[in-house]
Structure 1
Amino acid sequence: MQFDEFYETIGVFGPYQKIKYFLICFTNMLPPVMVYAWTFIAATPSFHCHTPLDDLSALNLPNRLSSQYIPTVEQCLQYQKGVSLKECQRCFQVVQNRTSYDLIPCRKFVFDRTFYQSTLVEDWLMVCDRVSLRSTVQIVFFLGYMVGSLLFGILSDKYGRRPIMGVSFLVMFLAGLICALAPEEFIGQNTSYPFFAIGRFFLACATRGISLTGFVMGSELGGPKQRLFSGIVIKYFFVFGQLLLLTLALTIRTWRTLNAVLAVVPVPFIFFYFILPESPRWLISNQRYDEAEVLLHRIAEKNRTHFDPIVYKQFVNEDKKRVSAAKNQNHGFKAILRSKVMTIIAINMSYQWFVQNLVFYGISQNTGAWLKNPYISFGISALVEFAAYFVVQLVLDRLGRKLPYCLFVIALALVTLLVLPIQIFLPKDSQVNIALKFFASGSYVIIYIYANETFPTQGRNTGMGVCSMIARIGAIIGTYSNDHLTRAWQHSPMVVYGITSVFAMLLATIFPETLDKPLPQSIGDVEQMGLACSIGRTRKHRHRLTNGVKEVHEDISSGKYLKDDTDF
């Protein structure tokens, strides 16, 4: 008897599971608040070089006087070929000599205060040749994502989902305090900058502990039929978290105050540790049958269904036999690399996550530039993301996982690679960006669900943690592209997104379809699913080598494959 079969007898996703699931969803409002807070805390308002005329702005001097300090197109092409025209004109100013002129980098700037009263970028002058200060903090943040994904993924597979989420809430609160206190003026920038970066690092670690563990925990509360529902709805709360952040940012326009408020937001969530249950699947997979029995009995009681201890005893005996037969098998990270099928899926899935994070965060971090009003842009971005999740929910149980994913990815690739001709007909970047955000959000959530359904319970959090760790390299490259590549050519990131997405779509065709299949408990379950190129083969595979050399019989379900490459 499989766990899902027994789970059905006590009411899969009954009232008890639903209440606990929505509590888990509620906790997933925290990660987007912390991730996207950077959009407002470190926003880059419109700016220009400070000139002597700015000190006389009250006199309403004619524009032609101030324009003499702005480099012309010819001057930029002659002296600053390595940067775009916009970057040249706002980061350099003309200094007239008696017989010639020079272009010198600005060291003082005037920032537009239409939307922000103050930002970290303004206070620490993270613009022009100092833009690396801004991107470095964000890169450190994504490094924290990498460490947190792997560390909390392994720990939650070893010690359980519930305690790791509890620790993550506490770490997020402490890291938020560091981020709020470090940038204070009396400390000084040279001291506060590294402390602030460290705070962002641990904040990212905690974010992954909550997001990744919560997603797995929520999906494990239901059965196969609820898998799509649980995977999508938790992402809706990710959007709700963005809207919560938008509300706070609209109310608080100074970055220091906003930073301080965000530091105390995780406090109520710390007490969720005493409310959230452990995953019954995890308890079973770790042979903690007595604890699982107590939890499953409580679930049946809350769902007003009958818990049969005799049937449960039968299930436990069968599970013990399965565990005994597989006692020499590795678990966790080693389990992922046990077989060729699992290894290929893990490497392929890691690349998919790399691409989706490169594209998703690359586009999402640039939402403030969609329209003149960054708050409206951010709100539209969140709504587009919500719409993408809704469309995914409509099609995923009808078309499967693989086909919709490939369609979303190839559509995004087409938009990015055709961005220049599209710009001719759609001169406004916002229209292209909305399409990119839609496709990126759709493919991002599908690969999250796909990975969750592909990795076995024995190493699900570990597998997704490894994927998430590698994915942060993509997020780092996306951040770098936005801050640096665009200085040379506006559409450089689009080309990167398009090329990597094409390869992702091609490699995704190898994955097995997981629609309506039980959530795999062991490596053997994954091996039985196989790879797409193995479909149509008989379970008893016979490979004959001519000239009477040898004959090899292979049982595909055993997970052992032929020595040559024809099996793949």
Structure 2
Amino acid sequence: MQFDDFYETVGVFGPYQKIKYFLLCCTNLLPPVMVYAWTFIAATPRFQCKSPFDDLLSNNFTNQLASSHTPSAAQCYESQKSISLKECQRCFQIVNNSDYDGGVSVLSPCRSFDFDRTYYQSTIVEDWSMVCDRVSLKSTVQIVFFLGYMVGSLVFGVLSDKFGRRLIMGVSFVLMFIGGIVCALAPQDIIGHRASYPFFSFGRFLLACATRGISITGFVMGSEIVGPKQRLFAGIVIKYFFALGELLLLSFALNIRTWRTLNAVLAVVPVPFIFFYFILPESPRWLVSEQRYDEAGLLFHHIAERNKKHFDPIVYQRFVREDKKRVAANQELNHGCKALFRSKVMGIIAVNMSYQWFVQNIVFYGISQNTGAWLTNPYIAFGASAVVEILAYVVVHLVLDRWGRKLTYCLFVVALACTALLVIPIQIVLPKDSENQYILMFIINSALKFFSSGSYVIIYIYANETFPTRGRNTGMGVCSMIARIGAIIGTFSNDHLTRAWQHFPIVIYGVTSLLAMLLATIFPETLNQPLPQTIEDVERMGLAW
């Protein structure tokens, strides 16, 4: 008797699972709030060099007199070839100084800037001047954040396999609250930028660690408390709440236009979730995998009562005896990263899955963090992005059990790659900054968000179904850790590569996605297969080629 066979006797998706699963879904509202808060806190409004006429002119941002200090295209191409014309004209100004080339006009880096306040009262980019040659300050904070993602993914993944999903989720809620408080208190004018900056970065690091702890444990627990037939439902619906979390963040950002206040408000959002530790149960599948049969028996009895089913202790004892025999036949422990590479099949799957996550994070976070470039109004653009993400999850929900994991994933990824590479002919054929180009780029960005959201959730479900229970969180954690390198690259490309060419990152998305699609064909199909309990179960699944 396998775990799923016994689990059917107490009910795999009754009132008990539905209530607990809904609570787990609610926990997935938090990660997008903390991840995408950066979109508004560190938004880069339109800006230009602060001209000597600013004190004499009206505050309408479009300043005709300032144009006399704006470099021409010829001047930019001659002296600033490494950056785009747009970047040159807003980061440099013309100066006439006898100290330069005998009084000839030259380009000089801007030292202060005027920022447009149409959509933001203040952002950290404005207060800390994170533009032009100081844009690396902005990138560094996000790199630290995604390093926290890496650490949190691996550490919390391993710890939740060792100490349980419930405990690590509770610790993550507390850590998220602490990180939020640090971020809210860090940016103080009284202590200056030099002290505030590392303190704020540390707070973002803590937030990232906590975010991964919640995301991984919540997703895994959601899939482990339901039966095989509900796994797709559990894997997709929790992602709906991720997108709803983005809309929750949007509601805060729309009403709070100063980054310091927004930071402070978001810091207290995790507080109610801390009490979920006392409401949510441990994963019964994890308890059995750890041979904690007495605790698992009590939990199964409780589940049966809530689902109005009969708990048969005799059947349970038979299941326990058979499970002990399976454990005795496979003496090696499947904990830790090394266990994932004790088998050739498991090792190939782990490495390949890590690359898939790496690519999906380059694309997903690269696109999601750059919604401000979609439209003039950043709030409408962010809302559109969230709606497109929900639509992607709906489509995946409808087709994944019909077409299978591998085929659906490959179709989404190849569609993403082809869409991304369309940027090149659009930029060559259509007039630069024309209305048609603007409309087509919005369509392409929306399509990229659709395909990246769909492929991202599929690979999440796929990984959950290919790693064994005794190493599932570890495997997911390793994939997520490698994926953060992709997220860092996506962030870096948005801040730096776009200075050379605005659409450079999108081309990178297309090329890396093509390779990912080819490698994905090696995976076994997991549709209608039971969740593997051990590495031996994974070996029996095998590889496609």
One-letter code aligned to 2:276: F
Counterpart for residue 437 of structure 2: 427
One-letter code aligned to 2:522: I
Counterpart for residue 103 of structure 1: 107
One-letter code aligned to 2:509: Y
Counterpart for residue 327 of structure 1: 331
Q: 1:301 and 2:311 equivalent?
A: no
How do residues 182-197 of structure 1 correspond to structure 2 at under 5 angstroms?
A: 182-197=186-201
How do residues 508-523 of structure 1 correspond to structure 2 at under 5 angstroms?
A: 508-523=520-535
Conserved? CA contact 1:165–1:273, under 8 Å: yes
**Residue identity (%):** 75
Please state how far the C-alpha of 1:65 moved relative to its aligned partner.
Answer: 2.8
Counterpart for residue 228 of structure 1: 232
One-letter code aligned to 1:496: I
Conserved? CA contact 1:182–1:192, under 8 Å: yes
Q: 1:86 and 2:90 equivalent?
A: no
Counterpart for residue 481 of structure 1: 493
Counterpart Cα distance in 2 of 1:511 and 1:294: 37
Output one character per residue of 1:289-310: Cα deviation in whole Å (capped at 9) or x when no partner. Answer: 0000000110000000111100
Counterpart for residue 73 of structure 2: 73
Counterpart for residue 411 of structure 2: 407
Counterpart for residue 433 of structure 2: none
Q: 1:11 and 2:11 equivalent?
A: yes
Please state how far the C-alpha of 1:63 moved relative to its aligned partner.
Answer: 5.4
Counterpart Cα distance in 1 of 2:61 and 2:200: 41
Please state how far the C-alpha of 1:332 moved relative to its aligned partner.
Answer: 3.1
Matched residue SS, 1:81: coil
Matched residue SS, 1:103: strand
Counterpart Cα distance in 1 of 2:62 and 2:478: 59
Conserved? CA contact 1:224–1:516, under 8 Å: yes
Please state how far the C-alpha of 1:61 moved relative to its aligned partner.
Answer: 12
Inter-CA distance 77–300: structure 2 relative to 1 (3 Å threshold): same
Conserved? CA contact 1:87–1:487, under 8 Å: yes
Please state how far the C-alpha of 1:329 moved relative to its aligned partner.
Answer: 4.5
Q: 1:390 and 2:394 equivalent?
A: yes
Q: 1:240 and 2:244 equivalent?
A: yes
Output one character per residue of 1:245-272: Cα deviation in whole Å (capped at 9) or x when no partner. Answer: 0000001000000000011111111000
Q: What's the C-alpha RMSD, in Å, of the aligned pairs?
A: 1.3
Q: 1:118 and 2:116 equivalent?
A: no
Counterpart Cα distance in 1 of 2:54 and 2:415: 47
Counterpart for residue 164 of structure 1: 168
- TM-score, normalisation: structure 2: 0.96
Counterpart for residue 538 of structure 1: none
Conserved? CA contact 1:27–1:269, under 8 Å: yes
Q: 1:454 and 2:466 equivalent?
A: yes
Please state how far the C-alpha of 1:190 moved relative to its aligned partner.
Answer: 0.5
Counterpart for residue 28 of structure 2: 28
Counterpart Cα distance in 2 of 1:54 and 1:310: 84
Q: 1:464 and 2:476 equivalent?
A: yes
Please state how far the C-alpha of 1:188 moved relative to its aligned partner.
Answer: 1.1
Please state how far the C-alpha of 1:327 moved relative to its aligned partner.
Answer: 1.6
Counterpart for residue 550 of structure 1: none
Counterpart for residue 455 of structure 2: 443
Counterpart for residue 417 of structure 1: 421
Inter-CA distance 65–522: structure 2 relative to 1 (3 Å threshold): same
Conserved? CA contact 1:330–1:338, under 8 Å: no
Counterpart for residue 372 of structure 1: 376
Counterpart Cα distance in 2 of 1:125 and 1:315: 63
Counterpart Cα distance in 2 of 1:59 and 1:301: 68
Please state how far the C-alpha of 1:97 moved relative to its aligned partner.
Answer: 4.1
Inter-CA distance 272–64: structure 2 relative to 1 (3 Å threshold): closer
2:509 to 482, 497, 519: 497
Unaligned runs of 5+ in 1: 534-568
Inter-CA distance 60–369: structure 2 relative to 1 (3 Å threshold): closer
Counterpart Cα distance in 2 of 1:320 and 1:310: 15
Output one character per residue of 1:524-561: Cα deviation in whole Å (capped at 9) or x when no partner. Answer: 1100100012xxxxxxxxxxxxxxxxxxxxxxxxxxxx
One-letter code aligned to 2:251: T
Please state how far the C-alpha of 1:510 moved relative to its aligned partner.
Answer: 0.1
Output one character per residue of 1:97-121: Cα deviation in whole Å (capped at 9) or x when no partner. Answer: 4752010000100000000000000
Counterpart for residue 50 of structure 2: 50
Q: 1:145 and 2:152 equivalent?
A: no
Q: 1:255 and 2:259 equivalent?
A: yes
Output one character per residue of 1:365-422: Cα deviation in whole Å (capped at 9) or x when no partner. Answer: 0001111110000000000000000000000000000001000100111111221223
Counterpart for residue 559 of structure 1: none
Counterpart Cα distance in 2 of 1:86 and 1:193: 28
Q: 1:344 and 2:348 equivalent?
A: yes
Higher relative contact order, chain-length normalized (CA < 8 Å, sep 6+):
2
Counterpart Cα distance in 2 of 1:449 and 1:63: 52
Please state how far the C-alpha of 1:324 moved relative to its aligned partner.
Answer: 1.0
Counterpart Cα distance in 2 of 1:130 and 1:61: 22
Counterpart Cα distance in 1 of 2:337 and 2:63: 64
Conserved? CA contact 1:176–1:262, under 8 Å: yes
Conserved? CA contact 2:363–2:490, under 8 Å: yes
Counterpart Cα distance in 1 of 2:97 and 2:480: 55
- TM-score, normalisation: structure 1: 0.92
Conserved? CA contact 2:162–2:335, under 8 Å: no
Counterpart Cα distance in 2 of 1:66 and 1:302: 71
One-letter code aligned to 2:450: F
Please state how far the C-alpha of 1:331 moved relative to its aligned partner.
Answer: 2.8
One-letter code aligned to 2:58: A
One-letter code aligned to 2:26: F
Counterpart Cα distance in 1 of 2:140 and 2:18: 41
Output one character per residue of 1:60-93: Cα deviation in whole Å (capped at 9) or x when no partner. Answer: 9995532111000011011111110000000000
Conserved? CA contact 1:332–1:458, under 8 Å: no
Counterpart Cα distance in 1 of 2:60 and 2:154: 58
